[in-house]
Each structure stands twice: as structure tokens, then as C-alpha cells.
Amino acid sequence: MTSPKKTKKPWATKAAMEQIYEAKLWGDNDSDFYSGDGSHHPELVEPYVDALQAFLKSFENPLTVCDLGCGDFNIGKELVVHAKKYIAVDIVEDLINFNREKFRIPNLEFHCLDIAKDDLPIADCAILRQVLQHLSNSEIKNIVDKLYDFKYVVLTEHLPQGDFVSNINIIAGQGTRLKKQSGVDLCEAPFHLKVKEAKRLLSINSPNHGGQLVTTLFKMF
């Protein structure tokens, strides 16, 4: 299978994400790669996995899923069995190569792509779990333009509790908008995501970092 077209220019975001894993800025569990508490804390992971498994199992004909920002694949490995094909994408090449060796499943593919710059794989459903919160508004806008190619989008973002100002811009990297009392809302300016339906699947208080992890299912068409 031919991989989606990739850009050749190195981007600052790629270097930033590589540094996060090299310096273990999201923590260390004695693994070569660790995507942080958000991908491993049972209180955050188990309800999410339950909700996504229920969604995927609700289809008589299994969906093709594109996991945009798959990280160390601690969560994705729980979802693969419920997809017709599962395409896991991340920007860090060494991480993708590590995952390819660790997770050998017939319906699973890994691709190293910058989802803000590169063409995305074709799939029925895109999953974005705590990915956009680390990116700049310009990168998010580029990604939003590509989400219309998917019938379903499952988005999880770390949002402040209570009222907050949406979509304050940041430089891509380890941090999020929480320090600015902000979070990503794709339906608000400057993104204006247009969806057919939106349904909140899950909201979980974050025990270590404050705020809440909110998972929303968008039906795009």
C-alpha cells in the first residue's frame, strides 16, 4: 500500500515532539516511549476505552479508523480489534518504528506523518485524543480542513473547568492552553468546524492536572 504523500521540509513541531520523547517530558515508565498520564492513568483511560469500544461495536460493518496522533499506542491497542482497518499516525518517526515492531496485528498499519502538513489516510472515522491541545492555531486550522473527509471524528481535549476563552493561540510543544485558562473548541473561531451532529461521549475530571478531558463525537456528513 502506498503511504500518503509526505512533505520533505522538517517542521518545528516535529522537532518539539521528538524532544518530548527523548527527554521524557511527559514522564517515564521504563519504556522507550511514554505518552504521559493521559494515555495511561486508569481513571482517564478505562472510561474512554469503554466509550470508544461501544461506539465502534455499534456498527454492523466495522469502520476503518485513522488514529491521528497515536502516541505510544497504549489506548489504540484496545480499539484495533473493533475496526475493519486501524491506521495509526504520529509525527515521531522513531516512535512509529518502535510501535511497528511492538504491535504486529493484521488489520493495523502505522504511518509517520505530520497531520497538519501531510495528506491523511482515507478512513471512515478519525480519532484525535489530546493532540490538538499541543498545536498552534494555524496547525489546527490545517487539520480541520482535512476532517471533512471523514464521516466521524472523535475528539478529546483537555479543557478548563467552568467558563473559559476558546482557542487562545500557543506555540506547538509539550504544553497546552490550560495555563492560559483556554482550550480547543473546533466549532468556535477561528476554526468554525461545520458538523451534521455533535454528541458529548465523555467528560472526566483530570486528577493530576486539573480541568477535564472532554470527548465529543462529530458526525460530519
Q: How far apart, in whole angstroms, are the C-alpha atoms of residue 86 and residue 77? A: 10
Q: What are phi and psi of 205, to 5 degrees?
A: -65, 135
Q: How far apart, in whole angstroms, are the C-alpha atoms of residue 111 and residue 93? A: 9
Q: How far apart, in whole angstroms, are the C-alpha atoms of residue 110 and residue 57? A: 22
- Check if the beta carbon of residue 115 is closer than 8 Å to that of residue 143: yes
CA-to-CA dists, residue 27 to 20, 32, 131, 174, angstroms: 9, 11, 17, 11
Average pLDDT of the chain is 93
| DSSP 3-state of 90 | strand
- H helix runs in the chain, sequence order: 12-22, 42-57, 93-102, 137-147
pLDDT at 221: 98
Q: How far apart, in whole angstroms, are the C-alpha atoms of residue 138 and residue 212? A: 24
Domain boundaries, the chain: 12-219
Predicted confidence band of residue 7 (pLDDT cuts 50, 70, 90): very low
pLDDT at 10: 44
pLDDT tens by residue, 172-218:
998 899 999 999 999 999 999 999 999 999 999 987 778 999 999 99
The b-or-e profile of 188-218 (16+ CB within 10 A means b, else e) is eeebebebeeeeebbebebeeeebbbbbbbb
Residue 2 has pLDDT above 70, yes or no: no
Non-local CB neighbours of 176 within 8 Å, separated by 6+ positions: 133, 134, 158, 170, 183
The domain 12-219: what is its CATH number? 3.40.50.150
